[in-house]
Copies of this chain bind each other. A is one copy, B any other.
Amino acid sequence: MKKYTEMTQKELLFEKERLEEEYKKVKEKGLKLDMSRGKPAQDQLNLSMAMMDVLKGDSDLRCETGVDCRNYGVIDGIPEAKRLLGAMSEVEPDNIIIYGNSSLNVMFDTVARSMTHGVMGNTPWCRLPKVKFLCPVPGYDRHFKITEFFGIEMINVPMHIDGPDMDMVEELVSQDPAIKGIWCVPKYSNPQGYTYSQKTVERFARLRPAAADFRIYWDNAYSIHHLYDDNQDFLVEILHECERAGNPDIVYKFTSTSKVSFPGSGIAAVAASKANLDDFRKYMQIQTIGHDKLNQLRHVRFFKDLDGLHAHMRKHAAIIRPKFEMVLDTLDRELGSLDIGTWTRPHGGYFISFESLDGCAKTIVALAKEAGVVMTNAGATYPYGKDPHDSNIRIAPTFPKMEDLQEAAKVFVLCVKLASVRKMLGQES
C-alpha cells in the first residue's frame, strides 16, 4: 500500500472514508478487550500451580539454618532465598535483602526513607528545598507516580536503543546536587524492550554525581524474562561494575519473582553494597519484624536454583512469544508500508513500544477504547502523564487470550490509521 505521507489530499479523504466505515463496524461488535497492563495470562499462572503443593501440612518448614520459618525472626531473608534471588540478580547472597511480595513497594519505601531519614547519613530529602529525579522516557508509569507522589521534580531523559542519553545524564548529574536519582529498567525496558549496552552500564558506574546521596534505581524487573532461547539480550552486572569504578554505593538493584511465579504472591529483593544494605536494614528493623519466610521457602523449594528459574521462564516464553510475534506481524503487515508509526521488536520483557505520528497517541487510545479495546493511557509512559509529542503508546500483549489479542491488534492498527489520516487532513477527533 502507498505511504500515507505520499498520498494526495483526495486519496487521504478516500482512505479516511473507508476507515471510518470500518471503524463503525468494529464498534458495533461491542468488544471488551484489554492490552493495557503487563499481566501474565492465565496459562502462565498455571505454570506455577505446583508451587501450591510444595509446602504441605507435614513438611519440615525450617530453613537450612534450622530456623522455623513459621515463626518470627530472620529479618532480611532466609539464606536459601538470598542465594536464589542472588543468583537471579547475579550478586552474592550477602549483597541482597529479601523483602515481601512487591519490588515496587521496596522502591516506594526507599524513596520514603530517603525523604524522612536521608541516604547513608545525608540530609533527609524532606528538608531540602528541591529534589529531582531523572526519568528516561518513555518509561514505567508506576516509577514516575512514586516520585510525583513525593513532590520530586522529574526531568525527562530521552531513551535510545542502547539506554538513556548518557551525555545528558552525565552532565545533569555532575552539575546539579538536587538530582538524587534516576529510574532505570535496564533490561527489556518498559515499554521499549531495550537493553542498556555495556558502554551505557559502564558510564552509569562511572558517574560522578554532585550529590553524595545520588542513587541509580536499577529496576531489573525482566532480568530473566527472555522471549527467545537463541536471541537474548545481555546486560552487564552493574553492582560489580560500580565497585570496579570505585563507586560501590551508587546503585540500588531491585528484582522480584512477580512475573516468574505469581504477581502479588512472589518475593522481592534489593541488591546493593553492604553500606547501602545496612541503611535499608536500619529502616526495616523498625518497620517490620520480618517478611513472609514461608513464601520464601515455597519459592526456593519450587524453583531450587537458577537453572530451575530459567527452565520455568522458557515455559513462560513459549506462551507469550507467539503473542508478541502476532502483534508484531499485525503491525508489520498493516502499518509497515504506511509511514505513520514505528515500533520496537523486543527480545524479552512484557511490552512493545509504539510511536505514532506526533499528536496522535491520545486519539488512537481514545478510539481504541471507544471500540472496546483498553490500552495503557497515552502519556502514562511519561512523568506527570505528559508525553510532549503525544506519540508513545505502550502495548502489553501478554494478558489477553490469543484470539482476543488478534482482535485487539486489528482494532489497534485500524485506530492508528484512522487517527493518522484525520491528523494529516487536519481534523482532530
Least CB separation from A283: chain B residue: B149
CB distance from A385 to the nearest CB of B (A): 14
Partner of A288, one of B40, B50, B108: B108
Give the shortest distance, in Å, between A100 (CB) and chain B (any CB): 5
A264 contact set on B, CB distance < 8 A: 69-73, 289-294
A247 part of interface (Cβ distance < 8 Å): no
Q: Out of B40, B102, B124, B292, name the residue touching A295 (CB < 8 Å).
A: B292
Docked complex Cα distance between A105 and B102 (Å): 14
Are B71 and A116 touching (Cβ within 8 A)? Answer: no
With known contacts A59-B52, A108-B288, A71–B40 Cβ distance under 8 A: yes
1/0 contact string of A46-78 vs chain B (CB within 8 Å): 001111110111110100000011111100000
CA distance A124 to B53 in the complex (A): 46
Contact assessment for A57 and B50 in the assembled complex, using a CB-CB cutoff below 8 Å: yes
A27 at the interface (CB under 8 A from B): no
Given contacts A58-B49, A115-B126, A292 and B70 within 8 Å (CB-CB): no
Neighbouring B residues of A48 by C-beta, 8 Å: 70
Task: Answer yes or no: A101 CB below 8 A from chain B CBs.
Answer: yes
Q: Does A263 contact B (CB under 8 A)?
A: yes
In the complex formed, the residue of B with least CB distance to A282 is B149
- Chain B nearest CB from A154 CB (Å) reads 14
B145 and A286 contact, CB distance less than 8 A: yes
A45 within 8 A of B: yes
**Given A37-B72, A100-B101, do A294 and B262 touch, yes or no (CB 8 Å)?**
yes
State A69–B261 Cα separation when bound (angstroms): 12
Bits for A249-282, please: 1 = Cβ < 8 Å to B, else 0.
Answer: 0000000000000111100000000000000000
Q: How many copies make up the complex?
A: 2
Residue of B nearest to A262 (CB): B70
> Which single member of B40, B53, B142 contacts A56 (CB below 8 Å)?
B53
Q: With the chains together, A126 CA to B131 CA distance in Å?
A: 15
A299 to B289, CA, bound (A): 20
A357 at the interface (CB under 8 A from B): no
A112 engages B101 (CB within 8 Å)? no
The answer to whether A289 and B116 have CB atoms under 8 Å apart is no
Residue-wise interface mask of A (327-347) relative to B, using a CB-CB cutoff of 8 A (1 in contact, 0 not): 000000000000000000000
Tell me, in angstroms, the Cα distance from A197 to B146 when the chains sit together.
43
Which B residues are in CB contact (< 8 Å) with A290? 102, 264
Q: What are the interface flags for A116-140 relative to B under an 8 Å C-beta threshold, 1 for contact and 0 otherwise?
A: 1100000010110000000000000
CA distance A291 to B264 in the complex (A): 6
Q: Hey, which bits of chain A sit against chain B, CB under 8 A?
A: 37, 39-40, 42, 45, 48-53, 55-59, 61, 68-73, 100-102, 104-105, 108-109, 112, 115-117, 124, 126-127, 142, 145-146, 149-150, 262-265, 283, 286-295
> Which 3 A-B pairs give the minimum distances between C-beta atoms?
A265-B294, A105-B288, A108-B287
* Besides A109-B287, A117-B149, A126-B127, 4 new A-B residue pairs in contact (Cβ under 8 A), listed by A number: A69-B264, A71-B262, A142-B289, A264-B293
